[in-house]
């Protein structure tokens, strides 16, 4: 990226229109479906963007702010750079310098298949990508500390593959999610409730499909696997919607 494409938010003319945080989300979500308002506020707290504030305290973003957000999110997603390093890149760009060249430090991780509403689809539950990460690779890609990984394993949230000690895609997603929740004060011990709820849902799904799994022919087993994927996706949708409804009514 050139130095002119990631300009600081204050460098644009005052006559140029400004966006509210909802409009910024609309612009970023096609490329970064996981972006949220708390994430943008967190990046602002880290000093990576500096949107203007109205007299009443509302954030107003310039196109330069949006470009910086795109740069930060892309460096996290595609190059697994920590925020400190990304901040150094932006500082160099702000001073008219070129950021250092980016080397491909690790292979690209497969993306989780998502439905239109942003929730995992049935495909994501049936997908097998055979991803195998070493402990060092998991720590580097997910940007978590040894201490956090130890605690996630202690509470049964992440488990290395038996026999190889490698970590799969699920372990990576859990580690990244735990890191983002940690920004809001969640510790691994708080996440045990999520694990317990997931175990109960797994038990219910297995109870429903158990009769189909007992079929001896390959077609019956295939139908059972399809049913598991579909039910799992629906249960996640129901769980997410119930949580959303509960938060709105609280």
CATH code of the domain made up of 3-94 = 1.10.1660.10
Per the model's pLDDT, the better-predicted residue between 57 and 105 turns out to be 57
Q: pLDDT digit string (tens) for 198-241?
A: 899 888 888 888 876 776 677 777 788 888 888 888 888 888 88
Whole-model pTM?
A: 0.55
What's the confidence (pLDDT) of residue 7?
61
Per the model's pLDDT, the better-predicted residue between 107 and 238 turns out to be 238
What mean pLDDT is predicted for residues 178-205? Answer: 91
Per the model's pLDDT, the better-predicted residue between 145 and 217 turns out to be 145
Q: Which sequence spans correspond to the domains of the chain?
A: 3-94, 122-249
Helix/strand/coil for 184: coil
What's the confidence (pLDDT) of residue 236?
85
What mean pLDDT is predicted for residues 165-193? Answer: 91
- Which percentage of the chain shows pLDDT scores above 90? 38
Per the model's pLDDT, the better-predicted residue between 163 and 159 turns out to be 159
Least confident segment among 20-34, 40-54, 109-123, 124-138: 109-123
The C-alpha atoms of residue 43 and residue 176 are separated, in whole angstroms, by 16
Per the model's pLDDT, the better-predicted residue between 14 and 245 turns out to be 245
């Amino acid at each position: 990226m050139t130095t002119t494409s990631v300009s600081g938010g204050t460098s644009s003319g005052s006559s140029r229109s400004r966006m509210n945080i909802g409009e910024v989300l609309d612009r970023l979500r096609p490329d970064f479906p996981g972006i949220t308002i708390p994430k943008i506020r967190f990046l602002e707290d880290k000093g990576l963007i500096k949107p203007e504030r109205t007299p009443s305290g509302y954030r107003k973003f310039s196109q330069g702010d949006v470009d910086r957000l795109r740069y930060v999110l892309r460096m996290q997603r595609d190059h697994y750079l920590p925020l400190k390093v990304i901040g150094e890149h932006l500082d160099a760009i702000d001073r008219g310098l070129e950021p250092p060249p980016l080397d491909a430090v690790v292979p690209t991780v497969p993306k989780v298949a998502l439905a239109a509403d942003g929730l995992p689809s049935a495909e994501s539950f049936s997908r097998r990508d055979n991803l195998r990460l070493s402990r060092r690779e998991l720590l580097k890609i997910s940007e978590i500390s040894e201490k956090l990984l130890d605690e996630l394993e202690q509470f049964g949230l992440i488990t290395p593959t038996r026999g190889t000690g490698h970590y799969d895609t699920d372990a990576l997603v859990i580690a990244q999610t735990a890191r983002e929740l940690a920004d809001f004060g969640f510790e691994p011990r708080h996440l045990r409730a999520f694990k317990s709820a997931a175990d109960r849902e797994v038990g219910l799904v297995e109870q429903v499909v158990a009769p189909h799994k007992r079929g001896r022919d390959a077609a019956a087993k295939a139908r059972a696997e399809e049913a598991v994927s579909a039910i799992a996706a629906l249960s996640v949708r129901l769980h997410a919607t119930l949580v959303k409804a509960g938060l709105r009514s609280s």
